[in-house]
Amino acid sequence: MGMFQEELIKTLQNVCYKYVERKEEKYLIKEERVRLIRGTITSVAHYFEDEMGRMLYRILGSKYRILVDYPIMFPGRNNRFTPDILIIEDKTIVMILELKIDLGYVQKNWRDKKEKIISRINLYKNDMYYKELNNGEKESTKINIIENVPYGTIILSQKNGGKNSQIIIDECENSKCILGEKVPFFHLLRDKKKHPNDFTTNAQVNNYFEDLVNNYLDEQIQYEVTKDWIRLEKFLKQHLEL
């Protein structure tokens, strides 16, 4: 198992541990589980973004900066976009990554978002800037972008994605998208039966990933759950130095 796979497993485990931890947040007083309870808790989405950012920091060369949920400004009032992850080299955007927990509640035309963003970037590509953070101070800094910037979507879980996830998987199978360029959507856990939100204890997380690793390392089987890992690694290597 290579460094990419090891770091990805660590990242996925940490996100699943966070799901377990967050379940306790509904009990606003730790010892009281009846009289005072919160009905909903905030999403783990931002934690998933942070963990993916940490993973990219560890596997990418030091020449890259990784910006997580960082606004990029265009000319005009309130004219900006905030990608989940931007990878920058020498003040130039070299990759855009969109992250999703699953595809259960996406809008019908959710895949059109990429084209809209790219269209805006092309319109303002000579006038983009961001607030660069240096020693605690923010400075407006011009930022460029490469032509045909690679734009990938990383989806944590297939479960809850239903038809939206299956369409992507079928497109990939039909087009034999080995590198990820043809269908740049990647499910990290292609498991219809298990979602990270299903875990209630860290022991369950540990057991799941122990089985996952054993199946991944078994050369005699094609393990469905991790099928997109190779595609994602090749997609990153195609455009960045790992």
What is the per-residue pLDDT across 166-220, written as a single tens digit (0 to 9) for each? 999 999 888 888 777 778 999 999 999 999 999 999 999 999 999 988 887 766 5
**Beta-carbon neighbour count of residue 127 at 10 Å?**
13
| Cβ contacts of 222 within 8 Å, gap of 6 or more | none
The region of weakest confidence among 79-88, 110-119, 157-166 is 110-119
What is the per-residue pLDDT across 114-154, written as a single tens digit (0 to 9) for each? 888 888 888 898 999 998 887 788 889 999 999 999 999 99
Share of the chain above pLDDT 70, in %: 98
What is the per-residue pLDDT across 16-43, written as a single tens digit (0 to 9) for each? 999 999 988 888 898 888 899 888 888 8
pTM of the model: 0.92
| Cβ contacts of 82 within 8 Å, gap of 6 or more | 69, 70, 71, 72
Decide if pLDDT at 222 tops 70.
no
Q: Which residue has the higher pLDDT, 13 or 28?
A: 13
Residue 223 pLDDT:
67
Domains of the chain: which residue ranges?
A: 3-239
Residue 44 pLDDT:
93
Instruction: Tell me the DSSP string of 188-205.
Output: EE--SS--GGG--SHHHH
Residue 220 pLDDT:
53
Residue 133 pLDDT:
80
* pLDDT band for position 45 (cuts 50, 70, 90): very high
> Please, what's the largest Cα pairwise distance for the chain?
57
Residue 144 pLDDT:
94
The region of weakest confidence among 56-60, 141-145, 153-157, 219-223 is 219-223
Indicate the pairing of strand 80-81 with strand 72-73: antiparallel
Decide if pLDDT at 161 tops 90.
yes
Residue 141 pLDDT:
92
Please provide the distance, in angstroms rounded to a whole number, between the alpha carbons at the two ends of the chain. 15
